[in-house]
């Protein structure tokens, strides 16, 4: 299995729409990702991504097939040495170590290209698979923010996982 991170292409719209329109995927991401997720949503998002001066979002590709997304948000002001990461993989590819490898590559990219001291991810309490991805990449559980998030009209704990950079 050959996992690579690459820049998004406009031709990824159909595959992105198919993956992102899955309710099980949507249950683990922020609400700003629309649901249902259409090809029009994918095209609009890809247009935004292509305008970025600094590449912060990547297509995850396995053996030539688009299988998900991974990216980060650089923080500002007093948090300017921080980045928050996020990712999703299509359900049919879960359990194969793809997210673990994609996060490993993303962390390496961030370390090489940005002057940061801290990378973190926020994970809903029920997403144990994502917590394992982070733990395998050297992140540690910094805190559990009680009742900090709401998803599907349910108030949830939010687990904050951190990797300190040297």
Write out pLDDT tens, residues 76-113: 999 999 999 999 999 999 999 999 999 999 999 999 99
Write out pLDDT tens, residues 39-75: 999 999 999 998 988 999 999 999 999 999 999 999 9
pLDDT band at 1 (very low <50, low <70, confident <90, very high): confident
pTM above 0.85, yes or no: yes
Write out pLDDT tens, residues 124-148: 999 999 999 999 999 999 999 999 9
**Residue carrying structure tokens 């809903």:** 124
Q: How far apart are CA 107 and CA 1, in angstroms?
A: 20
Task: Tell me which of 3.40.630.30, 3.30.300.170, 3.30.365.10, 1.20.1250.20 is the CATH number of domain 3-164.
Answer: 3.40.630.30
90 in helix, strand or coil? coil
Q: Where are the domains of the chain?
A: 3-164
Q: Percent of the chain, pLDDT > 90? A: 96
Phi first, then psi: give them for residue 76, nearest 5 degrees: -125, 175
């Amino acid at each position: 299995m050959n996992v690579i991170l690459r820049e998004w292409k406009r031709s990824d719209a159909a595959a992105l729409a198919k993956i992102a329109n899955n309710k099980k995927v949507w249950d683990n991401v922020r609400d700003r990702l629309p649901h249902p997720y259409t090809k029009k949503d994918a095209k609009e998002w890809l247009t935004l991504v292509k305008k970025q001066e600094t590449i912060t979002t990547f297509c995850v590709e396995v053996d030539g097939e688009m299988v998900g997304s991974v990216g980060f948000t650089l923080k500002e002001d007093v948090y300017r040495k921080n980045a928050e990461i996020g990712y999703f993989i299509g359900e049919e590819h879960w359990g194969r170590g793809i997210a673990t490898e994609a996060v490993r590559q993303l962390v390496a990219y961030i370390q090489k290209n940005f002057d940061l001291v801290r990378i973190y991810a926020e994970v809903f309490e029920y997403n144990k698979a994502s917590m394992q991805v982070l733990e395998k990449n050297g992140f540690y559980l910094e805190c559990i923010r009680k009742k900090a998030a709401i998803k599907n009209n349910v108030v949830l704990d939010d687990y904050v996982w951190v990797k300190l950079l040297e």
